[in-house]
Amino acid sequence: MSIRVLVLSLLALTAAPLVAGERVGVHVTPSVAFAPADLQVQASVPADEDSRALEIIAESHNFYSSSVIQLEGDRAPKSTTVEFRSVPVGLYSVRVVVKGSGGKEIGSARTEVNIIGR
């Protein structure tokens, strides 16, 4: 396994603030897998009355999949899990984006996942 793959595989999640002191988070399992892989993406979204939608995206050079979940502001669940099935070989950017009214991005988080061939 190359150093680049190892480093990207071990990247911790990165998050952007939604509001002061609270962060959107993302955790993907597995972070390295053989293709085709089933990815479990868990998004953590702090309660916020402006939250209207959560978009979860898995993207590489040759693959794109996303899921949009409607949120009910501060009554929305703090954790949401989405599964992407049969994901092909590639280095993936997995992002979660929280959107407010009008579709404006109000918070996001990102991590990397590596799906390798057999």
Going by DSSP bridges, is the β-strand pair 105-116/32-34 parallel, antiparallel, or unpaired? parallel
The answer to pTM > 0.75 is yes
Q: Note the pLDDT of residue 8.
A: 40
Structure tokens at 2: 């190359």
Residue 6 bridge partners (DSSP): none
* Average pLDDT, integer, range 11-22: 46
Q: Residue 11: pLDDT above 50? A: no
Structure tokens at 63: 């693959």
Q: Residue 15: pLDDT above 50? A: no
| CA–CA gap between residue 94 and residue 65 (Å, rounded) | 10
Q: Which residues contact 2 (CB under 8 A, 6 or more apart)?
A: none
**Among candidates 45, 49, 43, 47, which has minimal Cα distance to 100?**
49
Tens of pLDDT, residues 69-110: 999 999 999 999 999 999 999 999 999 999 999 999 999 999
Q: In one letter, which amino acid is 29? A: T
Percent of the chain with pLDDT over 70: 82
**Among candidates 3, 9, 13, 11, which has minimal Cα distance to 115?**
9
- Look at the block and give the residue holding tokens 């407010």: 100
CATH assignment, 3-116 = 2.60.40.730
SS3 36: coil
User: What value does the mean pLDDT of the chain take?
Assistant: 87
